[in-house]
Every structure is written in C-alpha cells, then in structure tokens.
Amino acid sequence: MSKWLAQHANYVGEAKIKGDMYQVSYYPALVQGDSWIEGDIYACSEEVWLILDDFEETTGAHPEYARCLTPILLDDGQWLEAWVYWYLRPTTHLVRLT
C-alpha cells in the first residue's frame, strides 16, 4: 500500500501527533495517548481516501479504524487538522510500541 500511496498522493512532509502506538499484527495501530508519534503527511484526493478507508477497514459491523480530523504538529511548528486513522478495538492484548 505504501508504494501505491506514493504514486497516488502527494507527500507533504513529516509531522507528529499525540497518541500511543500498539503492534496489532504486521502493522501498528494509533490510539489516543500522551506520547509524540512521528509520521508522514500526504495530500490525497477523495478517490484515494475511499480506497484507503477500505484498506484500513473503516466500515462494516466491526470496523478496525475510524478516519477523523485531528490536530497534528508540522515540523515547522504549525498546527493543522489532518485525517488520521484511529484504532477502534481494545489494546489490552497488544504490545505497546511507545
């Protein structure tokens, strides 16, 4: 998916967000928390978001993630709101990464 995203979205830069990360399987999950989590920001069309929503399992009876507008801190010190995928399932059985 990262290769596909690089071809269909525009890389904006790096930013960080307040949260905690857990290892779900071969992929991590972001939940509300107090640690600073660093990541990459991309500008995407609505068509790309629909594909990402499907990939991130945001629909159905038991979605794994929810895409929400969330404040993020850019490297230059500016705050902005960006779409972020938040993990919805319990983390009690997961290993914390942060």
Tell me, rounded to whole angstroms, the distance of Cα 70 from its chain centroid: 10
Residue 54 pLDDT? 94
pTM: 0.91
Residue 98 pLDDT? 75
In the predicted structure, residue 1 carries a pLDDT above the cut 90: no
Residue 52 pLDDT? 94
CA 30 vs CA 3, 27, 61, 76, 87: distances in Å? 21, 10, 20, 23, 6
Cβ atoms of 53 and 67 within 8 Å: the answer is: yes
21 pLDDT band, cuts 50/70/90, is very high
CA 82 vs CA 15, 44, 86, 90, 95: distances in Å? 10, 11, 12, 24, 26
Cβ atoms of 66 and 58 within 8 Å: the answer is: yes
Structural domains of the chain, ranges and CATH numbers in brackets: 2-96 (3.10.490.10)
pLDDT digits (tens, 9 = 90+) for 38-94: 999 999 999 999 999 999 999 989 999 999 999 999 999 999 999 999 999 999 999
Instruction: Look up residue 33 and give its two tokens.
Output: 């928390």
